[in-house]
Structure 1
Amino acid sequence: MSTSARSPWVILVAACVVLMVSTGLRNSFGVFFKSVADEFGWERATLSLVVSLNMLVFGFSQPLVGRLVDRWGPRRVLALGALVLGGGFGAASLTRNLLETYLAYGVVAGLGFGATAITVASALITRWFDRNRGLALGIAAAGLSAGQIVVVPLSTGLLGRVGWREGFLVMGLGTAVLLTLVVLPMVQDQPAAAPVPTAGRGRALARHEVAPGAAMRTLPFWQLTAAFFGCGFAITLLSTHFIPFATDVGLSRSEGGRLFGAMGAMSIVGSLTTGWISDRLGRRWLLASVYLLRSLVLLLLVRAQTVTDLWVFAVVFGFTWAAPFPLTSAFIGDLWGKNAIATIFGTMFFIHLVGDAAGAYVGGLVFDRAASYTPVFAVAAVMAMLGGLSVLSIRAGMSEPAIVSREAAAAGR
């Protein structure tokens, strides 16, 4: 396809596929969790620490990944990330002890996840879309959720047919081939001409380009970041421990997988709905509402006693699962412009992933000590409530301590 014929919607499709594969692989670890722990005789906290290391490496990579995207462009970063991610899963299939598992899945796969993450996709989409940016980012976030619907069931099938080692190998090779040979040829860093700015409530604040350092010295940056930490804590707590929790309360692994898949399906609905609404009514109140709704449904999980309770939780929590990603990314563009969005969002996403790491490890630790996930589910509910209140308190004018030129913003000064 020629450069002149490249459509923003083709770019969006490619971004969705990358996010579907990368996030689907990351969320699949819960499928293999008990099999890996049983083979090595590890406690859940021990294996949860591998997931936490993966999240920390993923997180620490985000400011650097954002900087590389702003300088090199998204396409090169995605290509490198696809190869590293595939190699990490291939290496994880061969591990013989805890140290090798730390290195293969914790470090190598963590770097691969970092370079194929929403940070890169958001920057790519923001370069191609101005009108309907919230909707486009919502569609991309639906790619995150599609991984739960497509990749997680495939992982469950692989585990039942060939075991966890061969399953990891197949997923690693498939990822490297699919992304580098099929998807990335569709990607172009930016259109020949920049998109023309359009009016709309979701974009009303974006009058200036603000440098990353200046943005990070504002109160709204830290309000959004604090909420994002709690978001990460809840998401990886559930992606790592929900299926083990479901089997602990008497469901089969396949039933737990169906519930988890339902979260993915509803996450698509949530991302598309909230993205579309945010272009018309603004981001702040909608993002706050998503966090507050999540808090309420996590409290339901604390007291869940029946399969019906779990299905209600899966549907409602799923609606909130990926919605904070497009809303936060679009809100960043509204507040500080889009020239350095990858650096700003990448730094914020790093804190989100620290929350991811904490959720994975604390969930396993609490279960090992209390033989229950109830206390940690309650903590996640409180975090979501505080996040919603934090976002709700953001006001116009709080985000502009220093206005810089577009050239300085592009240079990251």
Structure 2
Amino acid sequence: MARAVRLSTRQGWMVVAGAFGVMFATFGAAYSFSVFFTSLQQTFGASRGEVSLIFSIAIPLYYVVGAMSGPIADRFGSRLTCLSGVAIGGAGLIFAAHADALWQVYLGFGLGMGLGIGFSFVPSLAAVQRWFVRRRGLASGIAVSGIGLGTLVVPPIATELISSLGWRNAWIVLGLFIILFGGIAALFTDNSPERRGASADGGIIGPHAAGGPSTVEGFGLREAVTSRAFVLLYLALVVIWIGASIPFVHLVPYAEDYGLTHGTAVVIFGLIGVGSLAGRFALGGLADRLGRRKLLIAMFVGLALAQLWWLASIAAWQLALFALVFGACYGGFVALYPSITVDYFGPRNASGILGLLYTGGAAGSFVGPKLAGDLFDRFGSYAVSIGIGAASALIAVILMTLASKPISAKS
């Protein structure tokens, strides 16, 4: 019995490790986009709005496709779904590297990376929710910290690759990395502990397990999406992503506009990853004790304050402080959302519900980067778009305050 419990616990943490690796590879490559911004502008003679559209296509697809990949993973398993995702994402990046026109980059990076992450992010993250209850916030925080570490590590590597190989070959290297490293990590994802004779938090199912076979509880998809809690969680994601998506495209160009070197700007951008790691690790476990909903509201407040600080930031130290605080709050809310979703609706249809919920993020993230690029092209400044992002975060605070407390966990 004790050996079976240890094995079940180990399997759960291997699923966390697999999700971590998938997110490290895919999001690390995707969030290095800002490093390629200037090269793409110069190669294709494009405006900031036109280049921003590449990322504005990719991010919404993460979440729109998640609405499909979640139910697919619930039916066919997260491993196959994630393997498909990393293959599509890596191939898309390699295709974009051979582009002769900007529309081909829209297809390769925008569509390819969007589909790739869409088929790997939600299934891998939802799989973690099925293996944990008491430590769900901690497990989710560790899994999504792969995004933070990828944001910290991959952009500087991409910068060196661009310097030595050119931006096209840099994308080929990153595409192969997604396929190989991400593919290996995807093999460890598993969204069915019951099939392995296990249950959440190291429990086991079988003739000698106390209580016998367990039934996975939770809302049906229709019941969940028609609830007031779902609507408020959904709208909060829409508005928070308007501002949260802007720095991933425009922070490096913003820093360069104020006279900082490209290398310094990339280092500052990497601090988003540092803050994100801290937010995902520290806040995930803290939320299990203090209440996930309350801490989510605090993260939204922090994002609003960080963006107000960004409005007045022109020096390197000011932008570095913004990147750290923004990263921590961004990482915190991304880590908390899957767990809060299961708190409200249960684990039975976690992939499907989370996938549908994340389409709200698609709408906001489509608006943010492209809007910021277009407003810069018109006014020569990011001030209006940053102000819109701060206001959107405050609206998200109001929406989550109106949401009722989840009944399955601390709020």
2:199 maps to a residue whose letter is A
Provide the residue aligned with 1:121 in structure 2: 124
Gaps of 5+ in 1: 199-206, 400-413
1:393 maps to a residue whose letter is L
The alignment's C-alpha RMSD in Å is 2.1
CA drift at 1:341: 1.1
Provide the residue aligned with 1:148 in structure 2: 151
CA drift at 1:223: 1.3
- Residue 323 of structure 1: SS of its match in structure 2? helix
Partners of 1:66 and 1:172 in 2: CA distance: 24
Provide the residue aligned with 2:405 in structure 1: 396
| Residue 267 of structure 1, aligned match among 276, 285, 303 | 276
| Residues 31 and 152 in structure 1, CA contact (< 8 A), matched pair in contact too | yes
| Residues 57 and 366 in structure 2, CA contact (< 8 A), matched pair in contact too | yes
1:123 maps to a residue whose letter is A
Provide the residue aligned with 2:65 in structure 1: 61
| Residues 236 and 360 in structure 1, CA contact (< 8 A), matched pair in contact too | yes
1:87-98 to 2 correspondences below 5 Å: 87-98=91-102
Compute the TM-score of the two structures, normalised by the length of structure 1: 0.89
CA drift at 1:156: 1.2
CA drift at 1:135: 0.5
| Residues 69 and 120 in structure 1, CA contact (< 8 A), matched pair in contact too | yes
CA drift at 1:47: 1.4
| Residues 219 and 398 in structure 1, CA contact (< 8 A), matched pair in contact too | no
Compute the TM-score of the two structures, normalised by the length of structure 2: 0.90
Higher mean C-alpha deviation, range 376-385 or range 103-112: 103-112
CA drift at 1:166: 0.6
Provide the residue aligned with 2:179 in structure 1: 176
CA deviation vs aligned residue, 1:66-108 (integer Å, no higher than 9, x gap) = 1111111110101111111110011001110122222222222
Share of identical aligned residues, percent?
A: 28
CA deviation vs aligned residue, 1:285-330 (integer Å, no higher than 9, x gap) = 1100110111011101111132222122112111112211221111
CA drift at 1:196: 5.9
CA deviation vs aligned residue, 1:221-267 (integer Å, no higher than 9, x gap) = 12111221233222321100000101111111111111111111111
Provide the residue aligned with 2:379 in structure 1: 370
| Residue 35 of structure 2, aligned match among 28, 31, 34 | 31
CA drift at 1:159: 1.1
Partners of 1:188 and 1:124 in 2: CA distance: 6
Partners of 1:318 and 1:55 in 2: CA distance: 17
- Residue 305 of structure 1: SS of its match in structure 2? coil
Higher mean C-alpha deviation, range 315-324 or range 207-216: 207-216
| Residues 39 and 167 in structure 2, CA contact (< 8 A), matched pair in contact too | yes
CA drift at 1:208: 5.7
Provide the residue aligned with 2:209 in structure 1: none
| Residues 284 and 394 in structure 1, CA contact (< 8 A), matched pair in contact too | no
Q: Does 1:251 align with 2:253?
A: no
| Residue 395 of structure 2, aligned match among 386, 389, 399 | 386
- Residue 358 of structure 2: SS of its match in structure 1? helix
Provide the residue aligned with 1:292 in structure 2: 301
| Residue 55 of structure 2, aligned match among 51, 56, 61 | 51
Provide the residue aligned with 1:186 in structure 2: 188
Partners of 1:174 and 1:208 in 2: CA distance: 38
Provide the residue aligned with 1:204 in structure 2: none
Partners of 1:340 and 1:197 in 2: CA distance: 20
Partners of 1:28 and 1:144 in 2: CA distance: 11
| Residue 309 of structure 1, aligned match among 315, 318, 324 | 318
Provide the residue aligned with 1:280 in structure 2: 289
- Residue 186 of structure 1: SS of its match in structure 2? coil
| Residue 86 of structure 2, aligned match among 70, 82, 89 | 82
CA drift at 1:183: 2.0
Higher mean C-alpha deviation, range 185-194 or range 38-47: 185-194
Partners of 2:191 and 2:59 in 1: CA distance: 27
CA drift at 1:279: 0.8
Partners of 1:108 and 1:77 in 2: CA distance: 15
| Residues 93 and 108 in structure 2, CA contact (< 8 A), matched pair in contact too | yes
CA drift at 1:174: 1.7
Provide the residue aligned with 2:208 in structure 1: none
Provide the residue aligned with 2:107 in structure 1: 103
Partners of 1:133 and 1:160 in 2: CA distance: 41
1:231-250 to 2 correspondences below 5 Å: 231-250=240-259
2:242 maps to a residue whose letter is F
Give the count of matched residue pairs. Answer: 388
Moved over 4 A (4+): 2-6
CA drift at 1:186: 2.9
273 and 364 in structure 1: CA distance in 2 versus 1, 3 angstrom threshold: same
56 and 321 in structure 1: CA distance in 2 versus 1, 3 angstrom threshold: closer
2:125 maps to a residue whose letter is S
Partners of 1:218 and 1:197 in 2: CA distance: 31
320 and 393 in structure 1: CA distance in 2 versus 1, 3 angstrom threshold: same
CA deviation vs aligned residue, 1:44-64 (integer Å, no higher than 9, x gap) = 111112222223333321210
2:200 maps to a residue whose letter is P
1:214 maps to a residue whose letter is E
| Residue 72 of structure 1, aligned match among 47, 70, 76 | 76
| Residue 138 of structure 2, aligned match among 135, 139, 145 | 135
Partners of 2:52 and 2:190 in 1: CA distance: 37
CA deviation vs aligned residue, 1:154-195 (integer Å, no higher than 9, x gap) = 111111111110111111112112222x32333334322222
CA drift at 1:398: 9.5
Provide the residue aligned with 1:220 in structure 2: 229
Partners of 2:126 and 2:253 in 1: CA distance: 35
